[in-house]
Amino acid sequence: MNILHLDHGREMRGGQLQVIRLMRGLRERGHGVVLLARRGSPLLVTALRERFNADVLSIDTLRGMSGNAHLVHAHDARTHLFAAILCRKPLVVSRRVVFPVGRDPWSRWKYGRADVFAAVSLGVAVELKKAGVPEAKIRVVYDGVPLLPDSWDAEGPVVIPRSADKRKGSELAVEAVRLVGTEALLSRNLQADLRGASLLVYITDSEGLGSAALLAMSAGVPVVASDVGGLKEFVLNGETGMRVPNRVDAIADAIRGLRGRPEEAGRMGKQARAMVTEHFSVDRMVTETLELYEGVLSAT
């Protein structure tokens, strides 16, 4: 099977990490993989370094590369639009956000053009159904994250992912850690900074899923997270972490409680790691995406 992947992201965020993990898994299983991405983007640079067939996304490259593909997989809203207009191959669209889908005629046309949507969580699937997308065209495919070494340390820092996204409440998280009086680590390299962490604090106004929280859980690090979106589907109160309202006092109380009860925090971390192993592995994500592809091709 030959799959053309499209992504227009400027940064290497959760969605782009999923693209490269999916491409690696597909190649390992013997499938043809091509990527078109934004010029100079970290995703394109990474794909070229790993010797994938990759190029800059443009009208010409999209038309040319789609000719040899069995299907096209658009990983963001911009490339969804490009593929809907320019490609005549079966179209898979990843939907990673819980924002309401537009109801205008243009949006209805664009969403009607996709053969199937890979929703990153049940919450995202619900929003697609609300917009009138038939249930038969929606599949939930959870993100996959690597299983990191179990490196939880009850005395380690509280890690906070650093983000320029205004929807991500890192300032609230930093203020809450300050109130608790412990060490905060603002992370730009989460996989490295989780080694020896005591907690991950993940605060956001909106979240399709939350792969940074999943990555922490894979390392046995319990999570304090906002009670929103897809985070509700795997940050289970008292089991794999704590969900909190986006208030400094509530965030601080959760941090203080877990830091003060290391046995309970350690238990949550072990349960979190087991959940990731069973439900959120990269291998499972690749398998379920391939099943989605095969379903699309068999129906066309």
Give the integer Cα–Cα distance in Å for 76 and 259: 38
Task: Set out the domains of the chain in order of their start, with CATH numbers.
Answer: 2-144+281-299 (3.40.50.2000), 158-279 (3.40.50.2000)
Mean residue pLDDT across the chain: 94
44 close to 32: Cβ distance less than 8 angstroms:
no
pLDDT tens per residue, range 150-180: 999 999 999 999 876 666 668 899 999 999 9
Q: Are 249 and 173 in contact (CB under 8 A)?
A: no
For 144-222, where are the alpha helices, taking DSSP H only? 170-180, 190-193, 211-218
For the record, the structure tokens of 231 come out as 């985070």
Tens of pLDDT, residue by residue over 232-252, are: 999 999 999 999 999 999 999
Candidates 170, 143, 178; CA nearest to 15 is 143
Side-chain half-sphere CA neighbours of 141 within 13 A: 29
Orientation of helix 248-260 relative to helix 170-180, angle to 10°: 50
The pLDDT of residue 227 is 95
pLDDT at 164: 63
pLDDT class for 265, splitting at 50, 70, 90?
Answer: very high
User: So what's the pLDDT on residue 169?
Assistant: 64
Rounded Cα distance between 284 and 297, Å, is: 20
CB-based contacts of 112-115 (< 8 A; 24+ apart in sequence) = 113/83, 113/84, 114/74, 114/80, 114/84, 115/71, 115/90, 115/91, 115/296, 115/299, 115/300
Phi–psi pair at 80, nearest 5 degrees: -55, -45
* Helical pair 42-49 and 14-28, crossing angle rounded to 10 deg: 20
Alpha-carbon gap, residue 81 to 148, rounded angstroms: 36
pLDDT digits (tens, 9 = 90+) for 142-151: 999 999 999 9
Token pair 């009086």 in the structure block, residue: 181
pLDDT in tens, 46-60: 999 999 999 999 999
Mean pLDDT of the region 98-124: 89
- The pLDDT, as a whole number, for residue 22 is 98
- Please enumerate in sequence order all residues whose Cβ is within 8 A of that of 5, keeping only pairs 6 or more positions apart, or say none: 19, 22, 23, 33, 34, 35, 36, 73, 75
What is the mean pLDDT of the segment spanning 283-299?
Answer: 96
Q: Give the pair of three-digit tokens for residue 242.
A: 């704590």
Nearest to 203 by CA among 219, 179, 220, 223: 223
